[in-house]
Copies of this chain bind each other. A is one copy, B any other.
Amino acid sequence: MDAVAQKKIAVIVGSGRTVRLGFEISNWFVEVSGLKKEFQVEVIDLVEWNLPYYDEVLPPMAIGGNYTTEIAKKWQAKIASFDGFVFVTPEYNHGYPAILKNAIDYLITEWQGKACLVVSYGYGGGVGVNTQLSNILSGKSPIQMKLTETRPKLLFHRGVFNEQGKFIDINTAFKEHIEEIQKSVQEMKAILQ
C-alpha cells in the first residue's frame, strides 16, 4: 500500500432529515468515484453525532483546542484523524444545511490545511450551496482547506424519482457526472501526494 492509499478520507453526509437522499448519494459517490481505491474511506452521519449547537465561552479560534464537553472532544479527535474530507450536501435555500454548518463551526485547526471536495445535489445541481460552502471552507474564511478545483454539482432531472421520492436508478440519474466525479477524486489524490 503506497502512502496516498493510507490516507484517511471522511465523507460527511450534509443532510440530517429522517427521509433523505444524502446517504444513497454519498454511498454512490464512494463507489463510482474510485475514492475507495485510492484512500481509506469512512462515511460520517451527523445525525448519529447529534452535536448540540456550539456553545463554548470562547469561539473555536480562541479556545486552542481545549473543548470542555465530551462530545466536542470526541468530534475533535474524530476530525483530526482524517487527511481529507468529501462534503456531500443538499441545497437549502441556495445555502448549506444548518446541521452541516454547526459541525464545521465546532472546530478550526482540525480542518485547516486538509484536502477537501465539495459535492452538491439538487434541481439546479446545488450551485448556490456549492459556492457558499466552498467559501466558508477556504477563500477568505479562517478555515483554510485545500479544495479540489472540480466540485461536482449533481443535477436532479424530472423523472428520476419514483412516487416515494426515491431514485429509480441512481446510476442513470447521475450518469453525466461520473467522469467529472472521478476527476475530482484524482485532484484530491494530487493534493495529498
Contacts and interface: CB of A to CB of B under 8 A. Distances in A.
Interface of A: 16-19, 53-57, 59, 92-99, 101-102, 104-105, 128, 132, 135-136, 139-143
Given A17-B54, A128-B135, A97 B93 contact: no
Contact of A136 (B19, B94, B102): B94
A141 B92 CA distance: 9
Contact of A143 (B93, B96, B136): B93
A28 B128 CA distance: 33
A45 B128 CA distance: 28
A55 B93 contact: no
Contacts of A57: 18-19
A98 B103 CA distance: 9
